[in-house]
Chain A
């Protein structure tokens, strides 16, 4: 394990050294000019690819994630299928001890983690996958989402098992804790520390990239889009839009105005429901085209036409966007799930199974179906990201881009809040829990909102992808070492569940006759 990691690092360094910054870029913003060489360099390292043919190459990091997800799925004996119904019962609270009422429930932990992942990845990311990888990318995206469920199960179980509980009752958990503590238990304390620090650094970058710049960028794009495109009063004022969003984010995370966060957390689920309802309506309206769309998705997955790299090209796009959207193997959700109060870490892992399912298998698939059914991915004229999704919905409801703009901005906002939390947790893990450190990170976070809104899409996507994927390097090495721990927990829990030692709580056991 150690040697393969070293080999991997060596490859990364070699990739940096050989990286040439030759891509001619359309630099129209000073901010863009300053930042993009840096982001390109980082993206080049993380996405070091093996060239398969002249026009397609396979990023190692995608292989890394998919192999881990596949391994977890087989190793835990298809836990995502086996425990699917049991996980629903857990979320419903069927097994919750009423004496624990008032603690963070499974539902709340799942909802909080979901609000960090459901967002632009589901709207913009899917559009990017379909526009580059063709309809077939959808198939690979769904498959990656399914495999990701088992990986998410493992990381969230570990997050709860190895979290820190402080005397004042607050908790901190996540990969940095299970990497250092869990590997320490296995006698690999040194490696654990290194991985934990590496993870924390990448998570900070990820929170500034995918959790921040990408969100700011895409919500700005959609805002300009609905306010008149090129002619919009905001068209070349990304920095202004960024400043406004940064001010709002700052008010919540620095000013501690939780009421804004609370409102966002309550509105976002409604937006998700509205978005899915609209998607379902469009799908039903075009029900005659659904078989053809599925046909296009299946043939596109194995034998696509006009996609660079053919099936492999579609696969890479699908896997890449799925991983970015549901974050399985990345480790971020583990930080959010660790807050739940449960005696059985496994239960939180099982609940977390549903996260990639809802995020990727349900919501991403809906977006993809709408884009494929309406045919906008071919007629989009080079559009990508959120504009393409917007166009697809617009073809059915002319007013939908406005709703989508609102949804995008709200999703982006709530994702930023979640990621600022992940970032702070990693920042304070590295630099110690102090108010000034906490504040420093939050200020940096707000500055990146402005940078993200001012930049072009390309460099932003590359940076956010690379920063988020880099988290998986340390996280997955740790997961491989800790998989047996999870398996032990799981088989103990599963046998007690089967023997009836763990039972559903029946309300008013002695009282109700019904």
Chain B
């Protein structure tokens, strides 16, 4: 079975660079490519009943929007480079979702962009690349 590579994108330029980099590797090694977009979400937040009531609807809308506005353009761009990729949209904590996706898709490597945060920013907002490196089951390549 062909090798599988997983790349996480977030709609930013950094994410696109990571996708291109991964596509290059996938193309060279005849590997399968999975492009994932994670919608930041936590199961442990406190919601109002009104929010809970419409949550299912919102989730569908979020997924639809992510597929249309982030995944579809990314896949189209990769296609022009001759790489067919599979798109995935998930809710959750970006680093955790990418780790478990790597398991599900049997990926041998994860590619991810970075935001170039300062120490303070990373402390405040958390660095996806940083935590992914710590918890990933497979090697992680961080594309500058």
A101-B90, A101-B91, A509-B104 are known contacts. Are A107 and B56 too (CB-CB below 8 A)?
Answer: no
Q: Please, how many residues of chain A have a CB less than 8 angstroms from a CB on the other chain?
A: 43
Contact of A105 among B43, B51, B107 (CB under 8 A): B43
Say yes or no: A507 contacts B103, CB within 8 Å: yes
Q: Is the CB of B49 within 8 A of A108?
A: no
List the B side residues contacting A171 at CB < 8 Å: 53, 56
Partner pick for A508 among B44, B52, B59, B100, CB 8 A cutoff: B100
The contact of B52 among A96, A339, A417, A510, by CB within 8 Å, is A339
The answer to whether B63 touches A102, judged by C-beta atoms less than 8 angstroms apart, is yes
The answer to whether residues A109 and B52 also contact, given A102-B91, A170-B57, A508-B100 and a CB cut-off of 8 A, is: yes
Any B CB within 8 A of the CB of A269: yes
Q: Using an 8 Å CB-CB cutoff, how does the interface string of A144-169 with B read, 1 for contact, 0 for none? A: 00000000000000000000000011
Do residues A112 and B91 form an inter-chain contact, with CB atoms below 8 A? no
Q: Are A268 and B46 in contact (CB under 8 A)?
A: yes
Cβ of A98 within 8 Å of any chain B Cβ, yes or no, is yes
Q: Which residues of B contact A341 (CB under 8 A)?
A: 55-56
What A residues does B28 contact at CB under 8 A? none
Query: Which residue of A111, A265, A511 contacts B106 across the interface (Cβ within 8 Å)?
Result: A511
Cβ of A261 within 8 Å of any chain B Cβ, yes or no, is yes
Interface string of B44-73 (1 = CB under 8 A from A): 111111111111110110110000000000
Return chain B residues, CB-CB under 8 Å to A340. Answer: 52
**A302 interfacial contact with B, CB 8 Å:** no
Q: Does B102 reach chain A (CB closer than 8 Å)?
A: yes
C-alpha spacing A93/B90, complex, angstroms:
16
A84 CB to closest chain B CB, in angstroms? 20
- Taken residue by residue from 90 to 115, chain A's Cβ proximity to chain B (1 for < 8 Å, 0 otherwise) reads as 00010010100111111111011001
Our pick among A93, A116, A261 for the contact of B50 (Cβ within 8 Å) is: A261
**Distance A112 CA – B44 CA, assembled complex (angstroms):** 11
Q: Does A504 contact B (CB under 8 A)?
A: no
- Chain B minimum-CB-distance residue to A172: B53
CB <8 Å contact, A258 and B48: yes
Give the distance to chain A from B28, nearest Cβ to Cβ, in Å: 23
Q: Assess whether B55 is in contact with A339, with CB atoms less than 8 Å apart.
A: yes
User: Is A508 within 8 A of B103, CB to CB?
Assistant: yes
Give CA–CA (A115, B48) in the complex, Å.
9
**Distance between Cα atoms of A261 and B48 in the complex (Å):** 7
Taking CB atoms, residues of chain A closer than 8 Å to B56 are 103-104, 169-171, 341
Q: Which residues, 464 to 514 on A, are CB-close (under 8 Å) to B?
A: 507-513
Tell me whether B137 and A108 are in contact (CB under 8 A): no
Residues on the B chain within 8 Å of A98, using CB: 90, 92, 97, 100
Residues of B within 8 A of A112 (CB): 46-49, 52
A453 to chain B, nearest CB (A): 23
Q: A265-B48, A266-B46 are in contact. Are A101 and B41 (CB under 8 A)?
A: yes
CA distance A111 to B49 in the complex (A): 10
Residue picked from B39, B41, B53, B57, most chain A C-beta under 10 Å: B53
- Say yes or no: A169 contacts B137, CB within 8 Å: no
Query: Which listed residue (B51, B60, B104) contacts A510, Cβ 8 A?
Result: B104
B104 near A417: Cβ-Cβ < 8 Å: no
> A93 to B100, alpha carbons, bound, how many Å?
15
Smallest CB-CB separation from B90: which chain A residue? A101
In the bound complex, residues from chain B placing their C-beta under 8 Å from that of A168 are 57
B39 → A minimal CB distance (Å): 7
Q: CB-defined interface of A319-347 with B at 8 Å, one 1/0 digit per residue?
A: 00000000000000001100111000000
Residues of A within 8 A of B63 (CB): 102
Residues of chain B lying within 8 A (CB to CB) of residue A116: 49
Give the CA-CA distance A360 to B91 in the complex, in Å. Answer: 34
Tell me how far the C-beta of B132 lies from the nearest C-beta in chain A, rounded to whole angstroms: 12
Contact of B96 among A104, A507, A513 (CB under 8 A): A507
Among B39, B44, B57, point to the contact of A169 (Cβ < 8 A): B57
On chain B, the residues within 8 Å of A258 by CB distance are 48, 50-51
Q: A336, B49: Cβ atoms under 8 Å?
A: yes
Type the 1/0 row for B103-122, where 1 means its CB is closer than 8 Å to any CB of A. 11011000000000000000
Show 8 A/B contacts (Cβ-Cβ < 8 Å), sorted by A: A96-B43, A98-B100, A102-B63, A417-B48, A418-B49, A509-B103, A510-B106, A511-B106
| Those 5 A-B pairs whose CB atoms lie nearest each other, nearest first | A511-B103, A508-B103, A102-B91, A105-B43, A339-B52
